[in-house]
Amino acid sequence: MERREQILTIAGHLFSQRGYHATSMRELAKHLNLQGGSLYAHITSKEELLLEVVRQAAERFLKVLEGLKGDPVAKLKGLVRGHLEVIAQELPRATVFFHEWKHLSPPLLEEAKALRHRYEEGVQRVIAEGVEKGVFQVENLRLATLFVLSALNWTYQWYRKDGPLPLEVLAETYAGMLLRALGVAASPIGEHPEEGGEDG
């Protein structure tokens, strides 16, 4: 079991750095100090490995959703913090979850899509709840969800946990911008100021 975990970690690194297609089983075995053949005692195929890494990443992201508590603003803040934490702590797996999954073929591809979809739906529910409770104001729920995921996902491209920017600062700043984007403000956004203001 520990060996398998090690294989998955190295596979995640190689897939995310060089790309799935450019990573050979031979190379993977070399990084693990294994004979090419003995790798197959632990796994059945390179593609199965790819799906397994996607599964591990999905599990981490889905756990973020499960842990959300409080009002819509608190939930969104928790989502931002948790999502960025997964990226910072599990960069190779997150990269595979964001990218390399596309190289899977059916039926494994369908499982990866379903896992990604489940996470996206969870994020959408957080936003939808905020809209229902009158806390968030969005024009288009689906686009608002993609917008939130976009802003968060792209951090895998540039954020490094050992860099100068603490995760707390990134999470707080991003949460602030996302909440404003979702129409959370002390005063209503008022795109149509002519539609009656309060006089008193």
- Cα distances from 51 to residues 43, 54, 91, 136, in angstroms, run 12, 5, 16, 35
Q: Which stretch binds its own copies (CB under 8 A): 51-59, 83-91, 122-130, 170-178?
A: 170-178
Per-residue binding letters, 103-142, with its own copies (x by CB under 8 A): -----------------------------------xxx--
Distance of closest approach, residue 14 Cβ to its own copies, in angstroms: 11
Q: How far is the CB of 90 from its own copies (least distance, A)?
A: 19
Quick one: 41 or 186, whose CB is closer to its own copies? 186
| Contact between 19 and its own copies per CB under 8 A | yes
Interaction between residue 67 and its own copies (CB under 8 A)? no
Site size for its own copies, by CB under 8 A?
41
33 binds its own copies (CB under 8 A): no
Is residue 183 part of the contact set for its own copies (CB under 8 A)?
A: yes
